[in-house]
Amino acid sequence: MTTATNKAQPSSVFPMVIVAMLFFVLGFATWLNGSLMPYLKQMLLLTPVQASLVVFSFYIAVTFTALPSAWLIRKVGYKNGMALGMAVMMLAGLLYIPAAKTQMFSLFLLAQLVIGAGQTLLQTAVNPYVVKIGPEHTAAVRVSIMGILNKLAGVVAPIVFTALILNSFADTTDAAALTSVQIDAMANGLVLPYLGLAIFLGLLAVAVKFSPLPELEKEADNASSTGLIKAALTRPNLSFGIIALFLYVAVEVIAADTIGLYALSLGVKSYSVMTSYTMALMVLGYILGIIMIPRLLSQQAALAVSAMLGVVLTLVIVSDSPDSYWLAEHLLVPFGGAMLPDTLLLIAVLGLANAIVWPAVWPLALSGLGPLTSTGSALLIMGIAGGAFGPLAWSVASGSLGQQGAYIVMLPCYLFILFYALKGHKMRSWRS
Please report the pLDDT score of residue 38 as a whole number.
83
CA atoms within 13 A on the CB side of 36: 27
pTM value is: 0.75
98: cis peptide before it, omega within 30°?
A: no
Q: What is the pLDDT of residues 65-83, one digit of tens each?
A: 877 887 888 888 888 888 9
Q: What is the pLDDT of residues 372-426, one digit of tens each?
A: 777 787 788 778 889 889 999 999 999 899 999 999 999 999 999 999 999 887 7
Please report the pLDDT score of residue 49 as a whole number.
87
Kindly compute the dihedral angle of the four CA atoms of residues 228, 16, 153, 249, in this order, to the nearest 10 degrees: 20
Please report the pLDDT score of residue 170 as a whole number.
57
Q: CATH for 13-215+225-425?
A: 1.20.1250.20
Q: What are phi and psi of 4, to 5 degrees?
A: -70, 145
Q: Which of 32, 44, 177 is nearest to 107 (CA)?
A: 44
Q: Which of 64, 179, 77, 54 is nearest to 128 (CA)?
A: 77
Instruction: In whole angstroms, give the CA distance from residue 373 to residue 387.
Output: 23
Please report the pLDDT score of residue 140 as a whole number.
63
Q: Whole-angstrom distance between the N-terminal and C-terminal Cα of the chain?
A: 24
- DSSP structure string for 214-230: PPBPPPP--S-HHHHHH
Instruction: In whole angstroms, give the CA distance from residue 111 to residue 115.
Output: 6
Instruction: Give pLDDT < 50 ranges for the chain.
Output: 1-10, 174-175, 222
Please report the pLDDT score of residue 23 as a whole number.
84
The one-letter code for the residue type at 96 is Y
Please report the pLDDT score of residue 7 as a whole number.
42
Please report the pLDDT score of residue 346 as a whole number.
94
- Helix axis angle, 33-44 to 274-292, nearest 10°: 170
